[in-house]
Structure 1
Amino acid sequence: MEERQNLPEEPPRNEWIGILLRTLVAVLVLGGGYYAAAQYLGGRIPNGTAVEGVDIGGQSPAAARDLLESKLEELATGEVVIDVEDDTFTIDPTTAGLSLDLDATLDGITGVSYDPQVMWGRITNDGGDLPLQVTVDRAALEQAVAEVAEEAAIEPRNGTVWFSLGEVRSTASEDGRELDTAATSDAVEAAWPQEHQVTGVAAPTSPELAQAEIERFVDEAAGPAIAGPVNVKVGEETSTISPNQIARLLTVHESPEHALSLELDGDGLLEIVSGQLEATAEAPLNASLALDDGTVVVTKARVGKVVDEDKLVAQFEEALTATGKDRTITVGTVEVKPSVTDADAENWDISQMATFRSAYPGGPSNADRTENIRVGLGHVNGTVVMPGDTFSLANTLAPITKERGYVEAGVISDGRLVKGIGGGLSQVSTTVLNTAWEAGLQLDEFHPHSYYIPRYPVGKEATIAVGILDNRWTNNTNTPVLIQTYLDGGEIVMTFWGDRQFSVQTITGPRSNIVTADEREDDSATCLPQSAQDGFDITVTRVLSRSGSEVSRQSYTTHYDASPEVVCTNPNAG
């Protein structure tokens, strides 16, 4: 009998349907889990992801952003140090427009993917390091670096060359520095935020006067110029200019192109040479006026003979770069004509312009005061003021010293008479003023006393204080004016000789704003008695006329303080 093979039985139809349903359910379950896993992993940053060492793996972007913001705060806000050679400067990154861009850093790091490999990588440590993104406001950065540049800048320093005690001295020129704002901003931008210390890009700035020019000038010009004396031969005489004298005659000049050269004081050189060669040089003499035994005479002009300055300067400058015998030069002389000639003097019409007499207190008690007047008049007598020149009484009397012949006498100080050197010279000053007033000359400066002194013309008197108060007038005529003055009994007599141009009228106004003087007692041994003088204001007018027609009118208003009567009660008071 034939055997039958054992074959599996086919499941019945209903069983196939069950298997299919179970399989479908399993697929649906597994598929839903896969979907959920993909969704979950897509919203999380892959494990192993870090930004600047901060692990953000497995976190949501929002949580990662908060973590990075906290952990990287110091990195974002720490000062940036800029090194410029040996100096350091700082900028605030916030002010400089530097900021972290965390949104850009985390952009695209998450997202749903159903790729098994992507999903598996997000589960394992496959995230890696994310580059930290930053935002730079370039304008703000360059502004911050520009402020550093202002602090870091060093101005170049020009050296100097000068002469001292016959030697050449100098200081060196020094480079400055300047920070390159754009390049330094590039360096900061490239390094930040990983590096908070960068090297600034600085360049040297050159001084206008190069050190090489200083060294050339010292070696080729200044040094040789004072290496030895220069001899100047004029005729049979020789003037020797020492290195120290040469140094005083030289100044260092810097051109607009910053080249150095020597400048020679030609007038000073001529003065030294002429002073040493008195027999060779003779100054010209102008025609003028003089007193001859009390009589006014015209003095003759004289042609002068002086060293030829142009040739002297030219040859002297050449000798400054020479050595040995070439430092001796020979110069001739030239004639110098007077500026006021005898022909000019022939046109002068010299006569008495004005005379003024001023009475002064005499006697033994005023002997010192009288002596000062006599000495002062001696310095004024014979003075000649040429046309256009100005007479200064302070310069004529000065210095007011015992060596010049002055003694102590009463002077006015703060409205009181006190002892002082040169007391009484105000009487000389008042006499000068009134003579110039009556001569019709141009009055430039005069100062009345603080209180009125009855022996002087009211409103027409002048004190003097060398260095403080002067008495000046200008010769506004075409001829010289000579001052002749002397003592006659108890009066000063002063006459101006010249060519009078105007007739003079004086109008004295009434006294106003009168203040009555009081009385004081002084028991000091230095007390000087004085009489009371009321204070007041007064205006005096000078009218100048020519040929009956008024030419000018000038008014002078004077305020006099009240001066108390001083009674000296000390028996030893003077």
Structure 2
Amino acid sequence: MARTPLVFDVQGTRFEVIPSAIGFDLDDDAMLREALRHGREGGLGGQFRWWLAHLGSRGSTSIPPAGTWDSAALEPYLAQWEETAIADPPFEGAITVQGLSVVPQNPRPGTGIDRVATAALVDAALFDLGRSTIVVPTALRSPVLGLAEIGTAVAQAERLIAGPVVLSRLNPDVQVRFPREVLAEALRSKVVGPADGPQIELSFALEPLLEHLAPRRSAIEFPPVDAQVVIRPDDVPAIIPGRYELLIDEESLAPAVQVAAASTTRTGVFPYAEGARPTLTTEDAEALGIKEMISVKHTDAGIDSCCTTFYTPGGDWKNQNRIHNIQLIADMVNGAIVMPGETFSLNEHVGPRTEAKGFKQAGAIIGPIIECCDDPANWGGGVSQFTTTLYNALFFAGLEDVDHTPHTLYISRYPEGREATLGWPSPDLKFRNNTDAAVYIKCEYTGDSITVKIFGDNGGIKVSSELSERRNFTEPKDYFDPDERITPGEQKVTDQGSPGWTVTVYRIIDFPDGSQTTESWMWRYHPWPKRISVHPCELPEDHDDYDPNLKCPAPVPDLRGMTLAQAIQALAAVNLVLVQGDPIEVTDPARAGLVLQQGPDAGTLLEAGKPVTVRLGVLAEGEDG
């Protein structure tokens, strides 16, 4: 019965309604009780008489169906049928907006469905197994609403569009103005409620409001914002909350405009709905477990600063470039987060140090000396100071040292043995986060220093360091610097150099349970070479600047008084070429045929193959010698 549709005829138009749609529900328990009641009335005698009367009877007793339905659920159907199937239904009134003026639509009588009679027919049909078509009764019906109610609705509508509405937010900072014209276009009215108690309901349609927002929608909708871990000036980690994508809440927009329009200030809160999730939510950031600064050096005297190194401010362009590179790589690493179990590679994080990335040329250890600036390694010169500072931070944070390489030469501004260099693609600096919390790398710099701090939760360990005595000393070797100002055969010592040695660094980790572990790293520093300036022609063959085709310049011999043959032989001995100039007339036969002048002068250094011009003496005409 609940699935068999009810069929209605409204002035010739057919409609169907499934009984369950109006809340029809058979009462199985009531029908069962009614069935069991038959033959059990009137005491024992009455029940016996009922049994005798039905003895041998093959008939059955009819049990009427029992159940309930919701007459209020039928009302929307009746109201719709009045509009669609009745030519002249009663009109309860409405309002329209023309321009900025509210215009009333007054009520009028018409033919309407008789609700009471229809409900009785439906009640009978629901429990009728035959279910014939219900011919819906109609009658002339006057509207319930009058001119007073319409006037009230007009006054309400005029207040709703009396001025612009502003919806705003502080976070994000948004302010949206809806002009009167938009409000007037969006205002709607409809009659709601039961037939015997209707009301005019005012509302704003969504479409005109969205059309007004369309040109600036991209400015009032916001992408998701990741939560941020930041470090306060007092070195305490804090979290800046993240935010989901913010989209216009289309479901709430029109109601929000209406509430604001009905208020005395004509203002309200702009409604947002959450969209896409940020990559890092506030909850994600809190779950990182970044609790405190863990890069702390413990000494017998207490806690000491571990992770600052210094440089000389100003200076020449090379030093200024060096400082620029240190600060640039610090900016690149600042804020890096390493998750538990992850390995951080400085080279992978920063990439090659190139001009395109903003790095500049500065001094770098190339071979046995610091040079600038003809080698690719000079791009980013100075980044090893940052690498050393970062290494000390992870060292005292107790993080796992995966890979580090100290400088080949000892540099006094770095902790002996406890330092690291950086090259591309190697050497690299790598460490693994061996804690249960994420670690956060904070980089700070001033005009003369770079500082690295690591934050996280290392379980409360205390890290200290020890250094062995220097051992296995090695003496410096000679390194020759080319200098064209040096006379071949001469040498000038510019730096006596210093010895190299071997040293061992120890990391001692004390755990809260009283246990202790010790790790060690051994390193051999090369000696700083003895620097000797020589002429380029005297560089050893294993020197990078050695040129096998370069001959040493020779001092021009004093050719004066030599014969031509003797002068040629003397110049050939030093790889120089004789060129005869104009002769010089002489009266003394003894000077004839001898070199009287030369250029360049004797002692001048000339490269091999260069010419020396000589002028020979010749007897003047008329002299018979």
The TM-score normalised by the length of structure 1 is: 0.41
TM-score in terms of structure 2 length: 0.38
Which has the larger helix fraction?
1
